[in-house]
Structure 1
Amino acid sequence: MAEFVLVAGAWLGSWAWDEVVPPLRAAGHGVHPLTLSGLAEKQGVPAGQQTHVQDVVGEIEGRDLRDVVLVGHSYSGIPVGQAAERIGDRLTRVVFVDSEVPVDGGSFASGWWQGPAALESLIADNGGYWPPLDAADFDGQGLTDEQVARLVEGSTPHPGATLTEPAVLTRPLGELPATYVKCLLDGPEPNDTVAKLLTSEHWRLVTMSTGHWPMLSQPAELARLLLAAAT
């Protein structure tokens, strides 16, 4: 049986996986949803990007987990990708759910669509945090009004340093056994960095006909894909 470690993206905590956890456990697997430092119930804990990497590594090593399927959504693909390299043979597969991926020496802000300076300015204007999205920002992502309300109410400001500090990779990411889940309502194609990684024999691409938050919009289908990735 696999041990799933689930890490949600910016602004979110372990609660975001509430509807994904039961079908994974019903299939007999261990499931460990994780809140990163500075978010949700861990608000106020100082955090840089390497803090988040260590959050993930510490969860796995502290629980002595083996046969790990490590799942990173959105922003958290960056720390999850680094953690996947650092846990060695504990890793079965890393699953990137519509996520960013780490680039050695690059940050989340480096790939920001408006340029890094725009995101850095937004963080500076909000006391060192990336402010959560408003309800209107979730339009077109396949979410019900209730699901949008859960996201808005559950989101907390995201520590800015985790977005601006550089990633540190010890070997090519394409060497890891990986699945990339592309959510089609958030764009039909993976970004160029992911597209290049998908040329590796170790990487697989699967798609979902939903938006960027599939753990809320299609939790049963996401759970099915995660179970498939574990085999």
Structure 2
Amino acid sequence: MSQDSPDIDAPRRSIGSRRNPDTEEAILAAAEAILDESGLAGFSIEAVARRARAGKPTIYRWWPDKTALLLAVYHRQKPAVVHADSGSTEEDVAQFFVHLMGHWGGSGAGEVFRYLVADAQSNPRTAETLSDYAAARRKQTGALFARGQARGELRDDIDPELAAELISALAWQRLLTGRTAITLDEARKIARQVVQGLRPGASRS
């Protein structure tokens, strides 16, 4: 396509600091498409701006850096339903693992999340963003364990968010070491070993 093609160079209208939904959608769709086609190696604000026909200042106003835009794409790709409610904490944990590992291993989402974790080691802004994200996820996954407490399935003295953090730590470790492939049987084994220690009658020492 020629350089003066309106499909590439005609800029979308911005409405200042207030987000234009059409422009926001175009930017996120362009970012997602670039990741799908070229991975992180081909991802840049410049490439997204060209594909979305949006100005770089608009992108930087809404997403202060490449990492913030990547996290927005990660949220966009995240499945709507993550936590099952089967009536069994063990089964809910197993299903959580299967779905999360499938999401990370079956799309570019795992590569993006690994990048975010790596960038957080040297970028304070990313570290803060990732910390806030992890805190929100602990609350969401903690609800899984809180339901087990309400059913009398788990001890009343456990901290649901701490239990969720243990699960997340294992998930992150598997992602960072390239072990996202998991069967439902293996996930159920993991869930059994985690949840058994949280049941009434388990040692509290």
TM range (shorter): under 0.3
Higher RCO by CA contacts (8 Å cutoff, separation 6 or greater): 1
Quick check: which one's helix share is greater? 2
Greater gyration radius? 2
